[in-house]
A and B are shown apart, each in its own frame.
Chain A
Amino acid sequence: MSTALESGAVFLVQTVGAAVPLALATSGGVLSERAGVATIALEGYLLAGAFGAATCALATHSMLLALVASACAGALCAGLFAFTTVTLRANAIVAGVALNMLCAGGTRAALKVLYDSASNSPPLPVSAARDGSVASVAVRSLASMPTTWCAIAAVLFVSVLLSRTVFGLRATAAGEHPEALRAQGVSVERVRVGALVLGGALAGLGGAHLSLAQHEFVAYMSNGRGFLALAAVILGRWRPVPAAGAALFVGALSALQAVLAGPAGKYAVLLQALPFVVTLAAVVGLVGRTRPPAALSQ
């Protein structure tokens, strides 16, 4: 392969690789927010999922079980979040900040207790492709990660769920006209809890990609991706496929930073700033009109 093609392939792989955890967290966030609950806890879900996947992989050496564990970890956190915001009617922003704190502190404390390290876990038993050109190794590594396929599936799943299933339509209604839903005799609370927990599970899977791809769990490894995912949710106008597109865009930006490393490295900060600037422009209305689900502004 010519080096230009190789570099192009590596860039694409890095874009998709960076976008996978974002797309999963974004899909979860879309579902959660469409149901009418402001979800800034995505950061916490990612951390919980990453930690869950790491500990399960170390204990069982099974990739499948690690994925299940990550989804459960995310769902558990979302369950706590749902309990406080929906059942106890607490303020969702405060609860979200608290949950992020809980996951950041909890995963790092558990890391210390379980593996006696304040920064990283032992390396995970994940096999890595090694032979072949840089590009082919990259492509095969990405394709062999089940979370990559989970991300694609998750976007389609949430899209179909919201538009064609009874649950999805109820979730949308819970976010737009909860009173109408209640008048029909449907429990808005139960729909919201369901959407939140499902969203948390998806975001947890995104966290699994983080630790599995890096072959270890590092303290605070989500590193703000949860907020980037929230930005993608907003950029995508709370619709699953456009939001995933926004996640891909953010992934491309981080891959571009790797390309720019070296002499043009000081411009990397502009690329890092771009998602935030674009989202700001979007909510102000400079990039088309943004109308969040009606129940979110409460």
Chain B
Amino acid sequence: MHRRTLDAEFAGFVREHRTDLVRTARLLAGGDPHRAEDLVQTALVRAYVAWGRIRENDYPVAYVRRSIVNAHIDESRRPWWRRERSTAFLPEPSVPAPHDGLGEAVRAALAALPPKMRAVVVLRHWLDLSVEQTAEWLGCTEGTVKSQNAKAVAKLRHLLAPEGAPPPVPAVPSGRRSR
């Protein structure tokens, strides 16, 4: 297929899925929009290089999501790789997010989780992956996924619902099975 056709196809894929990819990356990055953008850009570069192959998959967005997770885990293992480069132009000033108590609290709680534990939360609860799929994506055992998930949920509850205060979301009705 002609390169221009592939490029146009890839640009269409980005247009369709980028917003969702950034949302996933923001959760992995503990709410940091700039780190999230770095993760998405890294993953999309990898996807572009492999586009001739992955475009034939049933679900190429899964490839990119997994690439985002891998970039997140890789980055967590090499703190402080500087990506900034000096430029002659100042970046545009960012628009401050509106004040949002719960959102800020959740972002802070997410950021307090270790990177891999945060990834478990995002894969299990945002992307709705099974325990088995999550273990495969993260290269760990299913037991590790279950224990990390349990610890993460407990920690989030602890951070978001101070002792004596009602939790910010309705409690799970009794008898409902969790995954």
Partners in one complex: no
Chain B interface (Cβ < 8 Å from any Cβ of A):
none
